[in-house]
Amino acid sequence: MIGPKHVAIIMDGNGRWGLKKKNSRNLGHKKGIIRVEEIIKQSIKKKIKFLTLYTFSSDNWKRPKIETNFLFTLLENYIDKEFNNLKKKNIKIKILGDIDKFPPSLKIKLRKVEKNTNYNTLIQINLALNYGSRQELVNAFKIISIKKKRIITEKLISDNLYTKNIPDPEILIRTGNTNRLSNFLLWQINYTEIFFVKKLWPDFGKNDFNIILNKFNKIKRNFGAI
Ligand code: IPE
Ligand code: IPE
Ligand code: MG
């Protein structure tokens, strides 16, 4: 059985988890990072080649500054802690989105980790940061029009998205008991199998992940044929 090459995840529910536990949304974000590490490990075990994590959406700026700053600090601490490990473990990090408006020190570290892990081959972790799918498409159309391309093809559009050279995901998981896409990978998920999970992200573990992978393996994917 050939498993999926690319799994994308909308890691939703951190805030509610933290509120329920200790009346602190940020606690949920902290616990969420531990789950990220667990799911990366499991993805490697399952020989998944691309794991895309919706980490900060272009609409998440609407949250209070105290929360966005906490998220940026968490991410920066994670990079500080894992910088050498990622390289050693042969993990490639790629950023999807426009991180220009991120705090300067975080931006520098993100660029550095991307550059430093560029030739790694075990797995590619795509971090969707300040990512919005419509913005990604608008950006692609702008590039295409600047290049004065007259023949528009699906490949031309795909090649001008942040996800250039990344195969479309076979699986999209959204945790947090919410059945929507929130502006995530709208072009790329045309034939993706979507799994909406009730559990909040900090409660989503490797067993839940395995259950989805097993379900996926039993699905007959038609792509319009029979
Ligand atoms: C997802 O969890 C993480 C980010 C958006 C960074 P939320 O923070 O959206 O958690 P809920 O949905 O409010 O519980
Ligand atoms: C989607 O979750 C973004 C991330 C998980 C990073 P949101 O919590 O921002 O989505 P909405 O606002 O509920 O649609
Ligand atoms: Mg949410």
Q: What is the CATH number of the domain that holds 201?
A: 3.40.1180.10
Task: Please give the pLDDT value at position 179.
Answer: 98
Distance of CA 158 to the CA centre of its chain: 17
State which of 57, 127, 174, 196 you would mutate to test the pocket of ligand 2, scoring each by most atoms of that ligand within 8 A of its C-beta. Answer: 57
Closest C-alpha residue for ligand 1 atom 1: 12
Domain of residue 176, residue span: 6-132+168-217
pLDDT for the residue numbered 15:
98
State phi, psi for 15 to the nearest 5 degrees.
Answer: -60, -50
Please give the distance, rounded to the nearest whole angstrom, from the Cα atom of residue 10 to the centre of ligand 3.
9
Is 175's C-beta closer than 6 angstroms to any atom of ligand 1?
no
Give me the residues paired with residue 57 across strands: 131
Task: Tell which wins on pLDDT, 1 or 25.
Answer: 25
- Which atom, in ligand 1's list, is nearest to the CA of 16? 14
User: Is the minimum distance from the CB of 60 to ligand 2 under 6 angstroms?
Assistant: yes
Q: Which residues surround ligand 3, an ion (CB under 5 A)?
A: 12
182 CB near ligand 2 (under 6 Å): yes
Say how many Å lie between the CA of residue 17 and the centre of ligand 2. Answer: 14
pLDDT of res. 2: 78
pLDDT at 216: 98
User: Over pLDDT 90: what percentage of the chain?
Assistant: 98
Task: Give the per-residue pLDDT at 1.
Answer: 64
DSSP 79: H
Answer yes or no: is the C-beta of 15 below 6 A from any ligand 1 atom. Answer: yes
Residue 106 CB neighbour total at 10 angstroms: 17
pLDDT at 65 over 90: yes
| Average pLDDT, integer, range 206-223 | 98
Ligand 1 contact via 36 beta carbon (within 6 Å): no
3-state secondary structure of 210: helix
pLDDT of residue 149: 84
Contacts of 15 (CB under 8 A, 6+ apart): 25, 28, 29, 67
Instruction: Give the closest ligand to the alpha carbon of residue 31.
Output: 1
Region 204-211 average pLDDT: 98
Does residue 205 belong to any structural domain of this protein? Answer: yes
- The model's pTM is 0.98
Q: Which position has the token pair 């426009």?
A: 98
Q: Is residue 57 part of a domain?
A: yes
Rounded to whole angstroms, the Cα distance separating 213 from 225 reads: 23
Q: Closest Cα partner for 59 from 7, 129, 111?
A: 129
Q: In whole angstroms, what is the distance from residue 158 CA to residue 46 CA?
A: 27
Q: Is residue 59 part of a domain?
A: yes
Does residue 186 sit within a domain? yes
Name which of 12-21, 67-76, 135-144, 146-155 the model is least confident about: 146-155
Closest ligand 1 atom, residue 17 Cα:
14
How far is it, in rounded angstroms, from Cα 197 to Cα 212? 10
Q: Parallel, antiparallel, or unpaired for β 123-131 and 171-174?
A: unpaired
Q: Provide mean pLDDT across the span 161-187.
A: 98
Residue 148 pLDDT: 92
How many domains does the chain divide into? Answer: 1
Asked if residue 173 belongs to a domain, the reply is yes
* pLDDT score recorded for residue 183: 98
Average pLDDT over residues 79-88: 96
Strands 50-57 vs 171-174: parallel, antiparallel or unpaired: unpaired
Radius of gyration for the chain, computed over Cα atoms and rounded to the nearest angstrom: 18
Residue 201 lies in a domain: yes
In-domain check, residue 92: yes
Please report whether residue 32 resides in a domain: yes
Ligand 2 within 6 A of CB of 57 = yes
Q: Which residues are catalytic?
A: 12, 60
> Hey, what are 88's tokens?
């050693």
Determine the 3-state secondary structure of 30 from DSSP: helix
Q: Give the neighbor-by-neighbor strand order of the sheet with 6-10.
A: 91-96, 123-131, 50-57, 6-10, 171-174, 193-196
The mean per-residue pLDDT over the stretch 87-95 comes to 97
Beta strands in 132-224 (DSSP E): 171-174, 193-196
